[in-house]
Amino acid sequence: MASFFCSTKFLLLLFFVSAIPIAFIIHLETSSPTTHVYHYHSTGWLRECSKWDNANRRFIVSFFEGGLGVIPVEADYSPGDVLQEIPVVKEADLTGNASLGFTIDRERNRVLVAVADVLGNRYSALAAYDLTSWNRVFLTKLSGPGHQIEKGKRNKHG
């Protein structure tokens, strides 16, 4: 059995098993996409989530390093144009936390953002921002240092 792993048949099998997936990935990366693709310049290093805001013809993106941005799509946009990202929310008191997902609450004209404690020394929260002015509507801290509940203990209401 050990001689099989040193044989020419095994080496050819190993080559084809590894070469075919790599060739397929290269083909997918170099071929033209079947759907429309928007290209944009980012102001940061990592974007966590994006959603299309149809009412305002823009993408809203959340930054892993905290905050939100918009990428407006003008009516005269043509494929090949490069869009620009505009930061709209970057709060100093949320520095060290990441924006890890959001939803657009069209009925209340706001966006709800999940703020995560990435480094373990801040807090997790839910924040809401007005979709027009980008002013913070509320910030509800969910957890943070010193907010641990001991087993068997109840709060004063329960």
pLDDT in tens, 95-138: 777 788 899 999 999 999 988 877 766 778 899 999 999 999 99
| 3-state secondary structure at position 16 | helix
Q: Cα separation of 55 and 42, whole Å?
A: 22
pLDDT at 145: 59
Q: Do residues 28 and 48 touch, judged by C-beta distance below 8 A?
A: no
pLDDT at position 153 over 50: no
pLDDT at 110: 96
Higher pLDDT, 69 or 18: 69
pLDDT at 108: 96
Q: Do residues 71 and 89 touch, judged by C-beta distance below 8 A?
A: no
pLDDT at position 14 over 70: yes
User: Confidence band (pLDDT; 50, 70, 90) for 147?
Assistant: low
pLDDT at 148: 52
Residue keyed to tokens 């823009």: 58
Highest-pLDDT range among 6-10, 22-26, 120-124, 127-131: 127-131
Listed by start position, the domains of the chain span 39-143
pLDDT per residue over 49-85, tens digit each?
889 999 999 999 988 777 899 999 887 877 778 888 8
Which backbone phi and psi does 14 adopt, to 5 degrees? -60, -40
The answer, as to whether pTM is greater than 0.75, is no
